[in-house]
């Protein structure tokens, strides 16, 4: 589990990145930036910082911050009963995002799976997003991303 210090450090760092691209947050939002380490306690390599703007039953809008070489692990959003799985659009605002989805394997991907976790990374079709570029992912697609 993240210590209070790790959480605050990641929040401040995320704020710096957001500030750099001109995204204005309310004070409460800055204080509530979510820091996900997925219970793995290796935030530098496996983690994600999130500002949640909206999260209703119908729609969710977030700013995601990935620090350099930080990876959000492979996952999918399946349908559950009658609730359809999540459709996601990623838009790059700054830096370069490497998104990996199901499909033809990219021979020399830019990103690597975090050390010791190679077996949990199985999708290697690379989509490169630069500022102003985006990619929409249908529900139930395996994905991971890295910056």
User: What does the binding site for a second copy look like in residue numbers (CB under 8 A)?
Assistant: 21-26, 29, 53-54, 56, 58-59, 61, 84, 87, 89, 91, 93, 131-134, 136
| Minimum gap (Å) between residue 78 Cβ and a second copy | 15
Residue 29: count of CB within 10 angstroms of its CB = 16
| Minimum gap (Å) between residue 37 Cβ and a second copy | 26
Task: Say if residues 106 and 80 touch (Cβ distance below 8 Å).
Answer: no
Residue 1 or 24: which CB sits closer to a second copy? 24
Q: Give the integer Cα–Cα distance in Å for 15 and 130.
A: 20
Q: Where are the alpha helices (DSSP H) in 21-110?
A: 27-31
The values of phi and psi at residue 72, to 5°, are -95, 120
Residue 69 or 130: which CB sits closer to a second copy? 130
Residue 5 or 28: which CB sits closer to a second copy? 28
Q: By three-state DSSP, how is residue 9 classified?
A: helix
| Minimum gap (Å) between residue 61 Cβ and a second copy | 7
């Amino acid at each position: 589990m993240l210590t209070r210090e790790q959480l605050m450090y990641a929040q401040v760092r995320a704020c710096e990145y957001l500030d750099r691209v001109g995204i204005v947050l309310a004070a409460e939002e800055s204080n509530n930036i979510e820091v996900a380490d997925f219970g793995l306690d290796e935030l530098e390599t496996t983690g994600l910082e999130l500002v949640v703007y909206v999260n209703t039953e119908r729609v969710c809008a977030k700013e995601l911050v990935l620090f350099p070489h930080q990876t959000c692990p492979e996952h999918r959003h399946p349908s559950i009963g009658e609730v359809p799985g999540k459709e996601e659009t990623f838009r790059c605002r700054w830096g370069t995002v490497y998104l990996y989805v199901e499909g033809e394997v990219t021979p020399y991907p830019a990103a690597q799976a975090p050390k010791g976790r190679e077996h949990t990374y199985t999708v290697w079709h690379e989509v490169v997003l630069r500022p102003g570029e985006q990619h929409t992912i249908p529900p139930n697609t395996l994905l991971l991303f890295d910056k």
